[in-house]
Structure 1
Amino acid sequence: MAIRGSVLGGIATMVGSGASNQVGAAVGAHAFATIGPAGVVAVRQFVAAAVLLPVARPDLRRFTWAQWWPTLLLGLVFATMNLSLYTAIDRIGLGLAVTLEVLGPLAVALAASRTRLDLFCAIAACAGVYVLVLPGPSSDYLGVGLGLLAATCWAAYILLNRLVGARLPGLQAPAAATTVSALMYLPVAATLFLHGRWEPAAILYAVGAGVLSSAIPYAADVIALRRVPARFFGVFMSIHPVLAALAGLLLLNQTMHPHEWAGIAIVVAANTVAVRAAADPERRPHPRPRRSPTKSSSPS
């Protein structure tokens, strides 16, 4: 019963984390008209750094170059991923942008294996994206491209996190990387300030996005990973497009067509199958047993 309660608590925490993340994105979208996606991302990075630095307390002066270079790359990925995602949200809507973004973790999962099931998942994901977008003269190809750029950044985030997580303990890596990203956005903040675009309402929306999309999910994910297996956590990431579509509908009045819901369902299903398959120990290659040397018989 205790184990079951722990798992249920982990699931509830993941649902809360995912909902908080997407509600935060929707809240931040209310400030796009005033400070733009770049301004919202800047405030979000400032908030994330303000939360993570006191918690992790990384000693940046003691970082070696082997620790610094992946941290700097991770900071660049943070900056690019958030800006491309928020700009995509501004152009094509929250549900579609987040659905395209989850193709990043899907690609990482598919790269781990070469089976027919993986090929099927890749084809299904491509079909889902086609159904979701239904390319035509009125399609916003720049918005779709930015969503795919966010997906590429999320894949890079996963790979860099594995590397830097082995070189820096605790939350030191994301704290340092978020600080690097925040420093990169200082010129954006200064430009907006000089043009008098820092309106209190817009700042409040952007701060809300920082708290809901950065501070709360970071803490919630740490708690969830203590209660549920990492494989299950990875599969659960597939629910984000659904939560994003609901947040866009309820908070931004972004209605979606039936083909968009169908595309989201296909991408979520492909992502779920691929992540579960990549994490299945029975599908991982096993090392070949070494043959014990045998004495060869020679004629006497």
Structure 2
Amino acid sequence: MATAACSSQTGAAFGSRAFDSLGPVGVVAVRQIVAAVILAVISRPRLWQFTRSQWGPIILLALIFAVMNTALYASISRVGLGMAVTLEFLGPLAVAIGSSRRLRDGIGALLALGGVVLLTQPGPTSDFLGIGLGLLAGVCWAGYILTNRVVGRRIPGVQGAAAATILSATGMLPAVVVIIYSFQPPWQAYVFALLAGLFSTAVPYALDLIVLRRISPLIFGLGMSLHPFFAALIGMVFLGEALGVLAWSGIALVIAANTVTLLGSRGEPEPVTASLDLQTGAHAVVPAPDSHKTHRN
């Protein structure tokens, strides 16, 4: 899990290196294309066999992919990798907290709120647009989890996620054409974008599928807390994005909120399927189609 989280955020760091040439939209478009190729090869979706009821959530998922990825990368370009990924992490945490009314989850929500305040330190000089984009990515991630649950019930395996990724990548192709024609980025930009797709999609996808065969959904959900930590660490070491003590304390509080929320979960572990989060390479733990229990990140 640690290797998968480190790989995901390393990929995001590679992607940020191409912002000056391709821009966040261009990097996202290349990543979506890489992810579409990988998932198409793995699942070989039979698009021509999908019904209207199946295409509905797939189209919504494709839209969420495009907005979520673009918002996250635009946020990274403005506020840095650690802050952007931590803000985005609030999305799945909100889904987990909102699934119950226990006091423990209320404590988790307060911890997360305190973490955001310490992390962003709102003031006149704050980059509120960058913070807002990170929160928008979080909202989209929450929507991704809920929508992907519907897709998982209606379409077997990862064919639904593959179809949504292919649709999203196709929709972003015009943006790639415009960027290439207008700015003629150097070849290094394409290499960084492709590395982002490899490290943030292919590597963690393979590792998480292996991990999910060996551990419970609860432990996997707790392991997701490694992503904000590695994002801040890699941003500091490789991108020079130094965070102060208060910001690190904020990240720790958000991680603690996830831990408190998931450790307070009751009941037996439910059947799960691994669902690829195509902007960080992370996965949402989504109930199998026959499960009616509350799902978790």
TM surpasses 0.5: yes
Which residue of structure 2 aligns with residue 113 of structure 1? 100
CA distance in 2, matches of 1:230, 1:259: 31
1:104 equivalenced with 2:91 (yes/no): yes
Which residue of structure 1 aligns with residue 58 of structure 2? 71
Deviations 1:221-264 (A, max 9, x none): 21111111111111111111100011101111111111100100
Q: Contact 1:85/1:147 (CA < 8 Å) preserved in 2?
A: yes
Deviations 1:109-140 (A, max 9, x none): 01111011111111111111001111111100
Which residue of structure 1 aligns with residue 185 of structure 2? 198
Classify the secondary structure of the residue corresponding to 2:224: helix
Q: Contact 2:59/2:167 (CA < 8 Å) preserved in 1?
A: yes
Q: Contact 1:106/1:275 (CA < 8 Å) preserved in 2?
A: no
* 11, 35, 39: which one aligns with 1:52: 39
1:113-262 paired onto structure 2 within 5 Å: 113-262=100-249
Tell me by how many angstroms 1:46 deviates. Answer: 0.5
CA distance in 2, matches of 1:193, 1:128: 40
Q: Identity over aligned residues, as a percent?
A: 50
Q: Contact 2:21/2:183 (CA < 8 Å) preserved in 1?
A: no
For 2:203, give the aligned amino acid: I
Q: Which runs of 4+ in 1 moved over 4 A?
A: none
* 40, 43, 47: which one aligns with 2:27: 40
TM-score (norm 1): 0.87
For 1:224, give the aligned amino acid: V
Tell me by how many angstroms 1:26 deviates. Answer: 0.3
1:277 equivalenced with 2:264 (yes/no): yes
For 1:281, give the aligned amino acid: G
CA distance in 2, matches of 1:16, 1:161: 25
For 1:33, give the aligned amino acid: D
Q: Contact 2:91/2:142 (CA < 8 Å) preserved in 1?
A: yes
Tell me by how many angstroms 1:196 deviates. Answer: 3.9
CA distance in 1, matches of 2:100, 2:144: 20
CA distance in 2, matches of 1:197, 1:90: 20
Structure 2 residues without counterparts, runs of 5 or longer: 269-297
CA distance in 2, matches of 1:80, 1:234: 24
Higher helix share: 1
1:86 equivalenced with 2:76 (yes/no): no
For 1:215, give the aligned amino acid: A
CA distance in 2, matches of 1:84, 1:252: 19
Deviations 1:159-195 (A, max 9, x none): 1121111111122111111101101211111101211
CA RMSD for the aligned pairs? 1.3
User: Which of the two has higher C-alpha Rg?
Assistant: 1
CA distance in 2, matches of 1:158, 1:225: 17
Tell me by how many angstroms 1:39 deviates. Answer: 0.5
Equivalent residue pairs, number = 269
Q: Contact 2:12/2:200 (CA < 8 Å) preserved in 1?
A: yes
Which residue of structure 1 aligns with residue 17 of structure 2? 30
Tell me by how many angstroms 1:202 deviates. Answer: 0.1
